[in-house]
Amino acid sequence: MALLDVKNLSISFGGLRAVDSFQLTIEQGELYGLIGPNGAGKTTVFNLLTGVYKPTEGIILLDGKNITGHKTAQINHEGIARTFQNIRLFKEMSVLDNVKAGLHQHYKYSTVAGIFRLPGYYRTEKKMNARAMELLSVFDLDKEADYLASNLPYGKQRKLEIARALATEPKLLLLDEPAAGMNPNETQELMDTIRFVRKEFGMTILLIEHDMRLVSGICEKLTVLNFGRILAQGETSAVLKDKEVITAYLGE
């Protein structure tokens, strides 16, 4: 059984078919790419998968469970986490507290324990701090744990957003243009980080990206969208040799 199985997913805005009959199957452990020109519907697909939008038609199955139309928080609890093209950190919170924000659905204490700072509160906070520091160390951010998130360099903010997403313990991680705004060295480091996350966390990853070097370097399979419809789909090497893809997407 596939981890993610999307069937005939569609949505319309004011009569415009933004995504039309989208199909996608991702197996456990795959690193999958979603590419296409600006306005092709890629982020709209992510918004449908994460409950930001409700589909007009279609079904989304996660690990065999129908999550179509569920609310964002519920979908996150069921196992999908994401990052955003425009970084969305809690910028006035510390690096550590950003990651702890992702841990709260797995580490809980009672309201009374929190208000009166009972022993259960301190035990839970200690566990959360330890786990958050483990995640930060994966991304070489542990030394900046006490920094404000807004004071991190751009590339490290990208990494922090991924760390926070992983803190929710997802089955599927969605990365929306993680290399946007990065220089070549940062992009290479990001590629290494994504490979590491996939291997060490056993993570299944779906990413939107315009950097074709990154896409061809790490994605095993690709889906190409254009005007909300699938233009090509399959093994990365085969898709990137497709003349229609080259014409529509690469402009060559």
CA 230 to chain centre: 20
Regions in the chain scoring below 50 on pLDDT? 112, 116, 252
Give residue 70's domain range. 4-79+170-250
At 248 the pLDDT is 63
Q: How many domains does the chain have?
A: 1
| Bridge partners for 174 per DSSP | 82, 206
Residue 63, both tokens: 């690990």
The one-letter amino acid code at 234 reads: G
The predicted-structure confidence for 135-192, as pLDDT tens digits, reads as follows 999 999 999 999 999 999 998 999 999 999 999 999 999 999 999 888 889 889 889 9
Q: What is this structure's pTM?
A: 0.92
Strands (E), 131-246: 172-176, 204-208, 221-226, 229-235
How does DSSP classify residue 69? T
At 136 the pLDDT is 97
At 181 the pLDDT is 85
At 247 the pLDDT is 67
Indicate whether 49 belongs to any domain.
yes
Indicate whether 71 belongs to any domain.
yes
At 111 the pLDDT is 59
State the CATH number of the domain containing residue 201.
3.40.50.300
Tokens 């569920």, residue located: 70
Indicate whether 152 belongs to any domain.
no
